[in-house]
Structure 1
Amino acid sequence: MKKSFLISIYAILIFITLIIFWIIGTYNKLVKLNENVKTQWSKVENVYQRRIDLIPNLIQTVKGSADFEKKTLTQIVEARSKATSININPNNLNQNQINKFQKAQESLSNSMNKLLLVIENYPSLKSTQNFYEFQNQLEGTENRINVERNRFNDEVNLFNIDRNKFPKIIIANFFTQFKEKGYFKSQKESEKTPIVNFTD
């Protein structure tokens, strides 16, 4: 009787110990995946910031053309201001926050695309060295944005799949930092990244 009681106690203690180790392992894996998402988010922010930092150079280059439409420049300055005013907490990368960030960035992209279309009417501006250099920087930045967004979505996918598996989801739901993350989505009516081309 005593022996079977002790075996039962030991079995329960072993079971509880295994559960504790499983919880610790699950938590630590979620921490690692969550940190990977936040690291990739900082890379996304970095490439978007690079694009934002290029805009004053673009405006200075374009302002050199005295008859250039001022309304177009005003629109891009306003869009840049809106894009820089959106700050996302990396601990709260839910779909709503990602959509908010993406909407502001798409507004800036649309304004820049309008500006670049207007520039087509200014061949002398297109042929300047400053504009040529800006063209190369902008193309490189747009490519980087696409790459980093895709990498971010990959990290989010790994995190979401892991945290939503049963029974891990039970542990994930106990901690606010392990909420499901949001994805970057394709712009409406756009299946691919816009190609910036200044050549005829």
Structure 2
Amino acid sequence: MRSPLLIGAALALTLYFIVLYNGLVGLKHSVAKAWANIDVLLKQRHDEIPKLVEVCKQYAQFEQQTLLKVMEARNAVASSSAAHDAARLGASEGLLRRGIAQLNAVAEAYPELKANEQFSQLSRRISALEDSIADRRELYNEAVNLNNMRIEQFPDLLIARLFGFAGAHPLRFESHETCDVDVSSLFRQP
């Protein structure tokens, strides 16, 4: 005959194990959800950038090299996002943000382009998407941080290793991406 105390302890331990496991599953899905939210915004911006480039192309003398850089960076962001490669996405995002900033700076030399309503709307839309992406990055990095902390803490560590829960990589940016913008450099031709 088994002791009720032993059965109670086994039941409590099982329930504790289930709570820990479910917590880790929840964190894993929070990271995936945060990544999906970023991905949606990246795709929206991905669709808007060619429209902005097309409007700029209407001004025949508009700098083609700048347009090319923006489109290449756009494609790099898309492939990094599709591969769920946070490290590569961070670097690609930096290139794209610099390209868009340079595109807007070069547009300053074209008063007709700046006055173009479609250009203005697209620029505002892309800026709004940039802000939303920055907000979602913060949420993603927080979810990654919580996930990574839990899978390294005892006793969660035991369950994480047993069931193969893996850490995630935060979206990081190069140091020049987090410092103040040198506005005068945006107006220099490359």
TM-score class, shorter: 0.7 to 0.9
Q: What residue is the counterpart of 2:172 in the other structure?
A: 185
Pair 1:83 & 2:71 matched: no
Using the TM superposition, give the Cα deviation of residue 83 of structure 1 relative to its aligned residue in structure 2, in angstroms.
1.9
Secondary structure of 2:148's partner?
Answer: helix
In structure 1, which of residues 56, 59, 66 is the aligned counterpart of residue 60 of structure 2?
Answer: 66
Which one has a bigger Cα radius of gyration?
1
Secondary structure of 2:109's partner?
Answer: coil
- Measured at CA, do residues 57 and 75 of structure 1 come closer, stay the same or move farther in structure 2, by a change above 3 Å? same
In structure 2, which of residues 86, 102, 106 is the aligned counterpart of residue 114 of structure 1?
Answer: 102
- The one-letter code matched in structure 2 to 1:32 is G
In structure 2, which of residues 9, 28, 41 is the aligned counterpart of residue 15 of structure 1?
Answer: 9
Number of residues of Structure 1 aligned to a counterpart in Structure 2: 181
Using the TM superposition, give the Cα deviation of residue 79 of structure 1 relative to its aligned residue in structure 2, in angstroms.
1.9
In structure 2, which of residues 102, 122, 127 is the aligned counterpart of residue 134 of structure 1?
Answer: 122
- The one-letter code matched in structure 1 to 2:83 is I
Q: What residue is the counterpart of 1:166 in the other structure?
A: 154
TM-score by length of 2: 0.84
Q: Deviations over 1:127-168 (max 9, x none)?
A: 111111112102211110111111111222222232222111
Q: What residue is the counterpart of 2:33 in the other structure?
A: 39
Q: Is the 8 A contact 2:91 2:173 kept in 1?
A: no
Unaligned segments of structure 1, at least 5 residues:
1-5, 90-96
Unaligned segments of structure 2, at least 5 residues:
184-190
TM-score by length of 1: 0.80
Cα distance in 2, alignment partners of residues 107 and 50 from structure 1: 18
Q: What is the aligned-residue RMSD (CA, Å)? A: 2.3
Cα distance in 2, alignment partners of residues 159 and 12 from structure 1: 33
- The one-letter code matched in structure 2 to 1:142 is E
Cα distance in 2, alignment partners of residues 159 and 187 from structure 1: 23
Using the TM superposition, give the Cα deviation of residue 191 of structure 1 relative to its aligned residue in structure 2, in angstroms.
2.9
Q: Is the 8 A contact 2:41 2:132 kept in 1?
A: yes
Higher helix share: 2
